[in-house]
């Protein structure tokens, strides 16, 4: 890591260490959107079942809610990941976020902002599902709601 930091500093100076920083700030919205969608899906599903909003679901139901919330969060925030990755690309020179957006739109159209989204969803969704099932079961256990 130190070697990478030194090389970036030598070739690009201090600004090189912060490439993609502004779009990266938008990355914090990913988790917020995912948790919001997850909780809303659970609440609406329990309402549909005419069950209390905090009713315990089975593992498959938690997996479904987790997968849907992850897909929603990825689809909503993927654009910023593409912009950030392109700003950090050492093979292309961009003059900031607006330049990345303008050149991507001009050269690739709207689809350019979503290149790689399917492999990304396939990569991140299983881990998300496992995380939420573990979260729900540990939370239920710690709150004394386990059966």
Walk along the chain (147 residues) and give the pLDDT tens digit of each residue: 899 889 989 998 998 888 767 666 777 889 999 999 999 999 999 999 999 988 899 999 999 999 999 999 999 999 888 888 888 776 788 888 899 999 999 999 999 999 999 999 999 999 999 999 999 999 989 988 665
- Sign of torsion, CA 28 31 35 41? positive
Q: Where are the domains of the chain?
A: 2-142
The reported pTM is 0.76
Identify the three-state secondary structure at position 115: coil
The confidence score (pLDDT) of residue 87 equals 81
Q: How far apart are the first and last CA of the chain?
A: 47
Contact 45, 61 (CB under 8 A): yes
CATH architecture assigned to 2-142: Alpha/alpha barrel (1.50)
């Amino acid at each position: 890591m130190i070697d990478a930091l030194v090389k970036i500093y030598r070739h690009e100076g201090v600004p090189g260490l912060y490439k993609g920083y502004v779009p990266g700030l938008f990355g914090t919205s990913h988790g917020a959107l995912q948790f919001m969608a997850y909780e809303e899906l659970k609440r609406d599903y329990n309402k549909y079942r005419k069950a209390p909003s905090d009713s315990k679901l089975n593992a498959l139901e938690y997996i479904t809610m987790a997968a849907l919330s992850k897909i929603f969060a990825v689809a909503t925030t993927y654009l910023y990941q593409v912009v950030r990755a392109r700003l950090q690309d050492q093979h292309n020179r961009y003059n900031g976020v607006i330049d990345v957006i303008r050149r991507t739109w001009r050269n690739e159209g709207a689809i350019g902002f979503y290149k790689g989204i399917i492999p990304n969803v396939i990569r991140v969704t299983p881990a998300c599902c496992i995380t939420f099932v573990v979260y729900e079961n540990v939370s239920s256990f710690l709150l004394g709601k386990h059966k």
